Amino acid sequence: MSQLEGGCACGAVRYRLKSGPMFVHCCHCSDCQRQVGSAFVINALIETDRIEVLAGEIAPTAMPTDSGRPHLVYRCTGCGTTIWSDYGDRKVMSFLRATTLDDRAALSPDVHIFTRSKLPWVELPDGVRAYDVYYDMQKEWPAESLARREALLGPGR
């Protein structure tokens, strides 16, 4: 995969991915729908240190969650575009908003999650892997991605 770059709507924030993501979700949960003002969000799960901010300032905003776990959304301080999220305040793993990439079609979803909240007019392609809520990572993620996640968070997490 060639290096992917992206940025915010006003152009102040620019970033580059140092590697491909571990996994890509298309999330249909109601929290994501409300936060992005759309039917779903495409999140590329990647190690935070593999996102190189080239220009601009990004600041976190704490968002409420049903679980009560921390959810920090990192946005351009100028235009407010969300660049990535940190679910659970782990700081080492980010959920990059894939459509902030210059090539918005570069990363396609590996799975669709929280489809129980999917809007009725959204049609999923035949054969796509989709889950009412979440899924078993051990069954879905490639071995290399599981190894990257374990190196980041520790065994069994």
- Domain locations in the chain? 5-153
CA separation for the pair 57, 67 (Å, rounded): 29
Provide the pLDDT for residue 139.
94
Q: What is the reported pLDDT for 70?
A: 79
pLDDT at 140: 95
Ranges of the chain with pLDDT below 70: 1-2, 66, 156-157
Using a 10 angstrom Cβ sphere, with 0-12 exposed, 13-18 middle and 19 or more buried, the burial of residue 121 is exposed
DSSP designation for 101: B
Residue range 5-153 forms a domain whose CATH class is: alpha beta
For residue 90, the model assigns a pLDDT of 82
pLDDT of residue 1: 54
Contact 72, 60 (CB under 8 A): yes
